[in-house]
Structure 1
Amino acid sequence: MMEPLLLIGGAFVRLYLMHNDFFKNLCDGTIFSTPVSSWKRVTEGSYLMGQDISPYEGDMVHEPPLTLLLYNLLLQNFAGIVPAFFILVDLLTAHILKRTADKFVQKQERPAVRSGAAPPSSPSPVPLIVAAVYLFNPCTAVSCAALSTAGLHQLPLALVFYAAVTERWWVCLCSLSVSCYLDLYPVVLLAPLLAAVGAAGRSRLLAALLAAGCWAGLLLLSAHALGDWSFLRSTYGFILWTWDLSPNVGLFWYFFTEMFQHFESLFIATFQINAFIYAVPLTLRFRGQPVLVMFALLVLMVTFKSYPSVAEAGLYLALLPLWRPLAPHARYGFVVTCFYASVMVLAPVMWTLWIHAGSANANFFFAVTLAYNAAQIFLVTDLLFAQLKRDHVLTHGSAKEVEGKPAKLVLC
């Protein structure tokens, strides 16, 4: 009964934000939409398609062709229901996350119940908390009101987590291919998924070929629909080479505004590699815990991608309650919470002071984005170390003495 109420409440919040003048002005900033997720750019692309002009000839449109065709269909035939479409996508994502949490909690409790170590418990509140965090998080709600296409990008990612928890590997890999088609960076999730597929006794090679084949099929379908391959430069090339240095909540724009041009290639490669390099080490260190590794990589991906928005933080923040058992072992929960709260308040303020009032400069806004990304790093580091401490306690007990002397676990 609670889930329908949450979904209705989330829909009403989004409708209210869409019709509120204050939040309409807030939505125009780059906090909630970026060059790759801006609805204004989508409408421009739709207009160009209507004029038989390739939307990828200029530097305006960076959506993949298939989703651009979907948006064009909506704009040309059902323009009045576009806001309802984005709300529906958010509600569907919340439902999938709730189902993911249901299955995850059941999976965690099942061994203890089967062994008789614990009696069957009453339904956990975690799934409803997950849905509520996604539906009522300002990051996702305001982004939906801004018609940011990042909301649609979260849908296949949520399905990846659901399929991974339920061990429906083929669905998981196909969903990952769709997610990579939309954004490219989710390819980092392939490492823990292949490890999990191998642990389940399936062929890693076939799994990798399936994921690559689905992605290649989407690219071929895009090229057929568009008539050429020009979209590759404007989508994946744009993401990797970071040609647009519009301010956002990421780390790229400020550094490369100040960068000498002949150093750009080196430092772009250095920055981009951070989004991918942690996949294999984390998979090897936390083997047997693919969902945890996927969560950590999701946070790192949002931190180090070239055009992030706070909408993407809404997905991993919604999944965070799944690791409630790690809370006693975490150290920086209060600090991270304060960081996030401060950023949510200060980011719109600094943006307004810089862009609209002219009484601040880029340093003010970038200081907030640094705090935001530091919070994400603290979050993922604390979570992973909490898991290591919990594993140690389960293996060696909770004694805090070594050779009769007081001791404590520290991060080395």
Structure 2
Amino acid sequence: MQEDFLHYLWKHKKIHITHLKTVMGKTVVVKNVGTHNFNSGPDFFNAQLIIDNQLWAGNVEIHIKSSDWYLHNHEIDNAYNNVILHVVWEHDIEVFREDNSPLATLQLKDFVNEGLLKSYKTLFGADNRWINCENEFSNVNDFVLANWKERLFFERLEQKAGVIDDLLTQSKNDWETVLFKMIFKNFGLKVNGEAFFSLANSMSFTVVRKMQNDLFKLEALLFGQAGLLENDTQEPYFLKLLKEYSFTKVKFNLKTIGVLPVQFFRLRPLNFPTIRLSQLASLYFLHQNLFSKVIEIKSLDEFYKLFKVETSSFWKTHYTFQKESKPSNKGISKSFIDLLLINTIIPLKFCYAKHQGISIQDEILELIASIKSEKNNIISAFNNLKPVSKTALDSQALIHLKTKYCDTNLCLKCAVGNVFLNNKLLNQET
């Protein structure tokens, strides 16, 4: 038994509400369950109850056992002096307030529908399930699921906005710098994301601004800071970059302390850090005011045009400095741009709008819904239960659902879990 379940029962009145009595036999009429408190203090504020024909206004505290009152030292905490009802699953001891006055206690297990209790045990009781409701997930109404996914998507955006706010504080409200750091992390993907992020953090964006009109200087800066110009090779382009970077490093007093080493191992050649850094250099060479362009653009096609950049000419015949390869254009693919939009651009647009005091939810929803669903183990598993992920809105919502609700057993705060419990209750009552 979890306290969250008891909160759920009380908050949503999933009990025999018309027959309530305290353990001392006094009748309880619930006028208002109160406001759920998620911080310190009693669990529900400002409840209104009629106990033994007397109206009470105050707080409600909920525990598994009555003795938990003393286990949590509530008897010496002034914050609990205004508790008018102690709601417990099992009454095992009499409870008194700080002034020694007895506290009215309601034992919930006497008033809970057996079908609902059975459903709760079914939901949380089985082992070796990918998610608790996997046997019922396919039966969830599409309308309910669609609304829940939209809410989950915005919860995930809010979470990402918190990271952006931290970067904004660090950069003294320089949005261009924040975008620069986020784009670098995104270009590194999972393997080199942190290394690319540390690279972006190793230098002021002011240095990048001063070099944006020269692609070669930008490449020298990025390759040098990433530690990719430290190999012993006589390749002419490498030596030219090294010479330029050596000058730039002294000129701007650049440091590489804290820059994580980039990885090539087990990466497809198109994802080699050399290729991604050259693409980044080209991107900032082509777009002097990237942040303002990102904010202005609204459609997916416009974003595809904005980020349609390729490497410099040297990398058309190379993946590394050491070995020449067959000539090929190494532009940024649409699928990579989709990831960039999902993980960087859309969260940034959302966060910027919040700081401006405006809402762009409709614009965000239209954009994310125009992007194809991501493909990963979580999405595949959900789709095996029920085909639910067609767009990036779906996939982002489902990733959030799995990691923040399913994996932490927050089924009682999930629309799917509530549907499961309510349906079982209705089936018991009909």
TM-score range, shorter chain: under 0.3
Structure with the larger helix share: 1
Greater fraction strand: 2
Question: RCO higher in 1 or 2 (8 Å CA, sep ≥ 6)?
Answer: 1
TM-score when scaled to structure 2? 0.25
| Structure of higher CA gyration radius | 2
